[in-house]
Amino acid sequence: MPELPEVETVRRGLERQVTGFPIARVEVLRARAIAAPPDPTGFRAALEGCTVQTWRRRGKYLMATLQRDGEDAGHWGVHLRMTGQFLWLNDGGEPCRHTRVRFWNPEGQELRFVDTRSFGEMWWVPPGQPLETVITGLKRLGPEPFATSFSAAYLQAKLAGSSRPIKSALLDQALVAGVGNIYADESLFLSGIAPQTPSGRLNRQQLERLHRALVEVLTISIGVGGTTFSDFRDLTGTNGNYGNAAWVYRRGGEPCRQCGTPIRRDKLGGRSSHWCPSCQA
């Protein structure tokens, strides 16, 4: 599933390409891609005639402000889920069988939403209505990793007394928004913490290292366009490059880039965890 760097890469691409985009026509090819309104016809009617304004990201959610005739027209929300991706097309062409929603401007340029697994969702939030009342997943999100409210002190307070493995805690979107398997593994490696360590046993110094590592890893990954191991692409179809420099993720059995010890791949809470038993002792 795309994580914060991948979603931020998509947001930046949408910001560059689709800000000011007048939506002349919308075609919904798969009804389940539209979460609200429940009838795709209502979604289409709400967006056609609107101009896309600013894009922002919250965790793994994307949201655009909309205007119609200079007036507030609500918000357009998107969650890519596992395999959703946007493609920008100047000359259109026949859609592939995984195309779910299509958006055209008056010149015929197209923003196309393609989703192999069909878990991606879109919402229209009416003007004046709080986003979280329609996109209800927003209610459960913790702070952004780059926010001042996310700190070692915050982690210490939230994790106090917890026996939950720190890797599992980092995947909890209520603790920190946007972090998933890739960057949890990478930040734990850089901070020298084994993924199965009970969260409540981490001291302030370890949490300081973990906080710094997480911010560093996410910053680097955003800078190289995220990570592509299977499906993720940006608006131009370009792969993310972070995977080539990953310290441990998907490197099970390969030598640690730091000490040479074979990287282990274990199951933890139903998810694969990659770690170095020497560097993360």
List the catalytic residues: 2-3, 60, 271
Sheet holding 84-89, edge to edge: 25-28, 99-104, 110-115, 84-89
Backbone angles phi, psi at 28, to 5 degrees: -100, 115
Token pair listed for 54: 């600013």
CB atoms within 10 A of CB 28: 18
The distance between the two most distant Cα atoms of the chain, rounded to a whole number of Å, is 62
Closest CA to 139 of 130, 147, 126: 130
In whole angstroms, give the CA distance from residue 134 to residue 129. Answer: 8
Q: Is the peptide bond before 37 cis (omega within 30 degrees of 0)?
A: yes
Contact 101, 84 (CB under 8 A): no
CA distances from 38 to 6, 76, 121 (A): 28, 14, 11
Cα distances from 227 to residues 4, 44, 103, 236, in angstroms, run 10, 32, 26, 15
137 CB-side CA count, 13 A: 18
d(CA 101, CA 200): 45
57, 15 in Cβ contact below 8 A? no
Q: What residue type is assigned to position 137 of the chain?
A: G
